Structure 1
Amino acid sequence: MDIDAFVTAHRPVWDRLDHLVKRRSSLTGAEVDELVDLYQRVSTHLSIVRSSSGDAMLTGRLSALVARARSAVTGAHTPAWRELVRFFTVSFPVVAYRARWWWLGSTVAFVAVAWVMGAWVAANPDVQATIGSPDEIAQLVDHDFADYYSEHPAASFASQVWTNNAWVAAQTIIYSVLLGLPIPYVLYSNAANVGISGGLMASRDKLDIFFGLIMPHGLLELTAVFLAAAVGLRLGWTVIDPGPRRRTEALAEQGRAVMSVALGLVVVLFVSGLIEAFVTPSGLPTWARVGIGALAEAAFLLYVIAFGRRALRQNETGDLERAPDVAPTA
């Protein structure tokens, strides 16, 4: 076989296959069909070269091209560590960033309800009387509220807090299946609880203790809950306004986004639980405990903004449709 003539005759085919493989994530249906056809043809060329020529360089080149094309056609598996890195640098932050306005809205609504509820309780002794007797309120304000954070060993308390916070976030995630309709009630219930506790503490001039104990872990903890609520509410809105996509496609994409947030919040709530168990009840000054909580909150928000904005500019959605294991389809 004349190897030079063989290379001259088939090089355009090899170059075209190499071009399609490099564009594997953005091929049209016709290009996918062409990719499969060229893969089969170049595989035949490789067999001919192996059986009729001793050109090791050409054999190696075609072997590498066929291997890459096979990976594009069949969807080669990506190492687990790369998938994990992609999740925390692309999938989770971009889903959170895309839900930023729902996230902000959930935060503002929660704070507004908690503030109004707290001011109402603090200013009305009659309302306080419906919550508990003076002795019960005194017990809560003077002992129970602060003792809650130190009455258990830190390690077991961290596990308990993590489980409880994860359940609250999970409830919000689960309600997204109901198109997010129950989520405002979940937010309202938690805001009312925070507002009532703060109002009772304020009525006894213990508001500094209240914020000193709730803010170190509460900033990150509530931010996680607000994010869970945001993606759930966004899923519900997708039913009303799916955009340019078909409604079923939009729901499927947003549903997978909800799952991405659920997995990411496991880590966020774990950090919050550690702060609540080891920092909140510690002997550190109030400014130091609150500062640690504020630092954790700032780090999380900067992480979402930096990685999420970058991924969004690259047209990432956090959806599995762009995952490395998905083979191109017509």
Structure 2
Amino acid sequence: MDLDAYVAEHRGEWRRLDTLSRRRRLSAAEADELVVLYQRVATHLSVVRSRTPDPSLVAELSRLTLAARAAITGPAAFDWRSVPRFFTHSLPLSLYVARRWWITSALVFLAVSAVLAVWVIEDPGVAGAFGLSDSDIRALVDHEFADYYSEYDSHVFGALVWTNNAWISVQCLVSGITILPVFYLLWQNALNLGLTGGLMIGHGGAGQFFGLIAPHGLLELTCIFVSAGIGLRLGWSWIVPLPGMGRAQSLAVTAVQSMVGAVGLVGLLAVAGFLESFVTPSALPLLVRDAIGLTVWLAFLAYVFVLGARAQRREAAAPERSELS
């Protein structure tokens, strides 16, 4: 098929469909014309895809057919019945299908942090290489690490923590399409955790370090691992497409799945921010604070692995209604 000749022959119909799709009000004749043109352009799209799949033309025709379909059917009304399904099916499923990616991210991150911490503990000169003097280290261990959690009003601190962690997660998700930036972001956070942990442990502050990190850190770090895993899975989806899909379709499907997970992370990071601003600096006994953090973290894991696995089984049993591949 001569693609240039095909485009020249049907360009007028495509422009007319685009014009009608953009109008807010249509006469009866124009509405009928819109339906006919939509059917024709959908056929054109099928022909182009099967014979000469030019990416730019396929994208243009796909946009036209989607816009025309929206103009014909009108905006869908929000169905409140979909809200429970989002939390009991779609969200845990989106996190569960990416589990191998974010579990691997977590294991690598923690291994790197542990190696850095041991290095800092064993070699006193490492801290100096990062520009930290003995007085800086002493101040960190004596009060600065603990003061960080009570420096601001709890409400303000919670908002700051949530915003900061959300920004890190957004960067991991968005940059995942190119993969490498995710590793850089994880390295930065692993370096910070390893350096701080090594200094605290090496100077007698191990109990304080783990005691203050545990209430919020378990969930907070897991959220970062999840965002990194989802981002890496998104990038990998166009390198190695999902079974039975081309690169563009695989990327599009995975991107939708990623957005579902991103919405869930907003709420999870809010919970982590609440723990860090209200539970970590509270007057509760240390063991109680840590128990609260551990309980919330285990509840999240149970949510993902119990409901997510159940949702995946449902998808496998009813592939024609599958939300995730």
TM-score (structure 2 length as normaliser): 0.72
The aligned runs of 1:1-330 (5 Å cut-off) are: 77=76, 79-131=78-130, 132-178=132-178, 180-242=179-241, 243-315=243-315
Deviation (angstroms), 1:78:
5.8
Count of residues paired in the alignment: 248
Residue in 2 that maps onto 1:38: none
| C-alpha displacement of 1:316 | 6.9
Which is higher, the Rg of structure 1 or of structure 2? 1
**Structure 1 residues 270-328: Cα deviation after superposition (integer angstroms, max 9, x where no partner):** 000000001000111211111101100011111111221111111179xxx867xxxxx
Partners in 1 of 2:310 and 2:244 — Cα distance?
A: 23
Contact 2:91 2:261 in 1 (8 A): yes
What residue identity is the alignment partner of 1:92? L
Q: 1:59-104: per-residue Cα shift (whole Å, max 9, x none)? A: xxxxxxxxxxxxxx96994644222222211221101101111111
Counterpart-to-counterpart distance in 1, 2:100 and 2:135:
43
Cα distance between partner residues in 1 of 2:111 and 2:322: 39
**Once superposed, what is the RMSD of the aligned Cα atoms?**
2.1
Contact 2:159 2:273 in 1 (8 A): yes
Conserved 8 A contact 2:315-2:322: no
For residues 115 and 176 of structure 1, what CA distance do their matches in structure 2 show? 25
* 1: CA distance, partners of 2:220 / 2:152: 20
How far apart are residue 225 of structure 1 and its match?
0.6
Q: Tell me the secondary structure at the aligned position of residue 315 of structure 2.
A: coil
For residues 316 and 199 of structure 2, the distance between their equivalents in structure 1, rounded to whole angstroms, comes to 46
- 8 A contact 1:181–1:236 mirrored in 2: no
Alpha-carbon distance between aligned partners in 2 of 1:83 and 1:307, rounded to the nearest angstrom: 16
Letter in 2 for 1:305: F
- Taking a change above 3 Å as real, the CA distance of residues 80 and 158 of structure 1, as seen in their structure-2 partners, is farther
Distance in 1 (CA, whole Å) between partners of 2:187 and 2:140 is 22
**Residue aligned with 1:81, SS:** coil
Contact 2:215 2:276 in 1 (8 A): yes
Q: C-alpha separation between the residues in 2 aligned to 1:87 and 1:273?
A: 23
Task: Assess, with a 3 A threshold, how the Cα gap between structure 1 residues 313 and 74 changes in structure 2: closer, same or farther.
Answer: farther
Distance in 1, Cα, partners of 2:169 & 2:83: 22
Shift, 1:109, TM fit: 0.3
Quote how far apart the aligned CAs of 1:165 are.
0.9
> Kindly tell me: are residues 316 and 84 of structure 1, through their superposed partners in 2, closer, same or farther at Cα, counting changes over 3 Å?
farther
- Mark the CA change 1:278 to 1:74 in structure 2 (over 3 Å): closer, same or farther: same
Instruction: Work out whether residues 102 and 231 of structure 1, in 8 Å CA contact, stay in contact via their aligned partners in 2.
Output: yes
Give 1:125 shift: 0.9
Aligned counterparts of 2:79 and 2:171: Cα–Cα separation in 1? 29
User: 1:247: Cα distance to partner?
Assistant: 1.5
Structure 2: distance between partners of 1:211 and 1:194: 11
Quote the Cα distance in structure 1 between the aligned partners of 2:82 and 2:159: 27
Q: Which runs of 5+ in 2 are unaligned?
A: 1-71
Q: Give the partner amino acid of 2:124.
A: P
In structure 1, the residue matched to 2:50 is: none
Supply the distance in 1 between the matched residues of 2:289 and 2:264 (Cα, whole angstroms).
25
- Aligned pair in 2 of structure 1 residues 264, 150: CA closer, same or farther (>3 Å)? same
